[in-house]
A = this chain, B = another copy of it.
Amino acid sequence: MPQRPHIDFWFEFASTYTYLTAMRIAPMANAADVTVRWRPFLLGARFKALGWPADSPFNWQPDKGRHMWRDMERLCNAQGLPLVRPDPFPQPTLLAARVATAIAKDETLERDALPRFARAVFDAELGKGRQIGDPDVLARCLSQEGLPTAMLDTAPTQSVKDQLKAETAKALEAGVFGAPTFITGSGELFWGNDRLEQALDWARREAG
């Protein structure tokens, strides 16, 4: 019997283009009958490995940054999404990524708890321009989705920290260099919101 097609969706809350993906991947994957595993990681690890500044490349490459924000305006407009540029950009995403990791680890939560939290964070950050490094903002993201705010206490525990580190290492090992990245069951890697359709197609075809 053929396996149900699936993809890993590697995401980072500091990635503006991942906001576009987060808001559209669930219905699209559902329509394509592909299971999505949401996997938070920290892209900063890759910048560090390259010796790059601890900042978004969109800040220290202002020409590329100007295009990104204008491109985001055009794409959010086409996708019917609000866009408010958070200040500072990028927002500190460590705490949100740890909460996401704690949610992923917790098997007592509903299966869609992580996507719901992630969408709430992206909406707060890029739809409303809020400070997602602030625990109160993340608490509201959790509670609006009916998720336990106690996740904020689990977030800084050693096992969650270790898991986020291990996941980030796995991402880099698998060839992830940006976000969003999609990896199919056979290891086919697609980078960028622009490749979501192709990644879902590929996953479907390889599962036969």
A interface list, Cβ under 8 A from B: 46, 50, 61, 63-64, 66-67, 70-71, 74, 172, 175-178, 188-191, 194-195, 198
Contacts and interface: CB of A to CB of B under 8 A. Distances in A.
B189 A67 contact: yes
A191 B70 CA distance: 11
Q: What 6 A-B pairs have minimum CB-CB distances, sorted nearest first?
A: A63-B177, A194-B194, A64-B177, A67-B191, A63-B175, A67-B189
For chain A, what secondary structure do more than half of its interface residues adopt (helix, strand, loop), or is it mixed?
Answer: helix
A64 B198 contact: no
Contacts of A50: 61
Given A74-B198, A194-B194, A198-B74, A175 B61 contact: no
A61 B49 CA distance: 10
A180 to B, nearest CB: 13
Nearest to A195: B71
Contact of A61 (B64, B176, B177, B188): B177
Contact of A64 (B63, B64, B67, B178): B178
A41 to B, nearest CB: 14
